[in-house]
Amino acid sequence: MDRAFQLAELGKPYIRSNPAVGCVIIHKDTIIGEGYHKEFGGPHAEIHAISSVQSVDMDKLKEATFYV
């Protein structure tokens, strides 16, 4: 969860009135994806996190936990 907060801080200068949000995707104690809300009106942190997952790990998403 701490990593999600760290990621959220990265977006603060760019999101204007939107909340700062970070997302970390964990599968069996391993981070397989992460992202944050990068710009006002842009994709949410969860979308960036899913997009960051390597193709070899995509099948793990159904068993993963998202921390937002």
By annotation, the residues acting in catalysis are 46
Token pair, residue 33, equals 């994806």
Residues counted in the chain: 68
The answer to whether the CB of 3 falls within 8 A of the CB of 24 is: yes
